[in-house]
Amino acid sequence: MNIDHIDIVTSHKCNFHCPFCVDKFCHTSEDEVKLEDIDRFLKIVRKHTDKNLEVLLLGGEPTILSFEKLVEISKVITNNGFTPIISTNGFFKDKIIALLAHYRWIQVTVHSDKQIDFYRDYKDKINIKWSGDENMTFDVFNHFIEYTEGFERRSISMYSTANFIELCRDEDVWDVLNALKWERNGSYLYSFYKGVRIKKFIKGETNIIDEPTVPKLYPNGNYNKTWNNEYLDDYLK
CATH number at residue 101: 3.20.20
Q: What is the pLDDT of residue 8?
A: 96
pLDDT at 87 over 80: yes
- Give the per-residue pLDDT at 194: 97
CA–CA separation, 76 and 231 (whole Å): 23
Strand-pairing partners, residue 155, are 129, 197
At residue 160, the pLDDT reads 86
pLDDT of residue 23: 73
Assigned domain for 55 exists? yes
Between residues 148 and 201, the one the model is more confident about: 148
pLDDT at 138: 98
pLDDT of 102 higher than 80: yes
Q: Is residue 1 part of a domain?
A: no
Whether the per-residue pLDDT at 191 is higher than 70: the answer is: yes
CB 98 within 8 A of CB 125: no
Question: Rounded to whole angstroms, how far apart are CA atoms 60 and 33?
Answer: 12
Residue 71 lies in a domain: yes
For residue 212, pLDDT over 70 is answered with no
Give domain status of residue 218, yes or no. Answer: yes
- Please give the share of the chain, as a percent, with pLDDT higher than 70: 96
Domain that holds residue 99: 6-236
Q: Over 70: is that where the pLDDT of 39 sits?
A: yes
What's the confidence (pLDDT) of residue 174?
97
Domain total in the chain: 1
Distance CA 27, CA 13 (A): 5
How far, in Å, are 3, 36, 85, 146, 186 from residue 195 at the CA level?
24, 38, 20, 10, 22
Beta-strand pair 105-110/126-132: parallel
For the cut 70, the answer to whether the pLDDT of residue 209 exceeds it is no
What is the predicted pLDDT for the residue at 208? 59
Mean per-residue pLDDT of the chain: 92
